[in-house]
């Protein structure tokens, strides 16, 4: 079983970086993907971007169904079309315990590469469209707090401040993260 990775939490500056393209799908990329999938499952997530674990690569793993046999891997994903709009509550592994209402496109078309280096194209609506947009946003340094409705941003203001104040504190300090 691959070793899990540490999920970076807000306001870690690495979460704001634009991820680099994957040049070649090789053994190192496959190892990263295996560890990302293990980390996503261990944290009960439905998606994880490489930037969330401090890896500067355009890699996303998804599992919107929540079943291990339905894991999806997207290398260098890019949204090529968006349509419609929907609002819904989202959470994020990089913001433990925080949720807010986010406006997204209701339909997206995405191109990417699989672990064999073959181009794939997929279209998604509703929840899968939401997950894809959320994870691809991470690769571009965009976070859910940037996409939240004004009402949600106001309601989470104190929680964000607490994240910022506790960032970097040792776990033994009051307010530190473990």
**Catalytic site residue 90?**
no
* Residue of 3, 135, 165, 173 with catalytic role: 135
Peptide bond into 130 cis (omega under 30): no
Pick from 50, 83, 49, 43: which is nearest to 66 by CA?
Answer: 43
Kindly state the tokens that stand for 36.
């990302």
Short-list 9, 81, 84, 79, CA closest to 51: 9
Four-CA torsion 61, 65, 69, 71, nearest 10 degrees? -10
- Residue 59 and residue 51 in contact, taking contact as beta carbons nearer than 8 Å: no
Mind telling me the catalytic residues? 135
């Amino acid at each position: 079983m691959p070793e899990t990775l540490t999920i970076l939490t807000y306001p870690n500056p690495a979460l704001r970086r634009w991820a680099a393209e994957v040049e070649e799908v090789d053994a190192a990329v496959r190892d990263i993907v295996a560890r990302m999938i293990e980390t996503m499952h261990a944290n009960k997530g439905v998606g994880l971007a490489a930037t969330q674990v401090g890896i500067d690569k355009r890699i996303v793993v998804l599992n919107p169904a929540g079943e291990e046999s339905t894991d999806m891997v997207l290398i260098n994903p890019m949204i090529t079309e968006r349509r419609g709009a929907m609002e819904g509550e989202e959470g994020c592994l990089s913001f433990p315990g925080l949720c807010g209402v986010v406006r997204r496109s209701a339909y997206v078309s995405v191109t990417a590469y699989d672990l064999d280096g073959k181009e794939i194209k997929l279209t998604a609506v509703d929840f899968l469209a939401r997950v894809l947009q959320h994870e691809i946003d991470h690769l571009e340094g965009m976070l859910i707090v940037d996409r939240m409705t004004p009402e949600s941003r106001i309601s989470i203001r104190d929680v964000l401040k607490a994240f910022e104040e506790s960032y970097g504190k040792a776990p033994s300090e009051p307010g530190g993260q473990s």
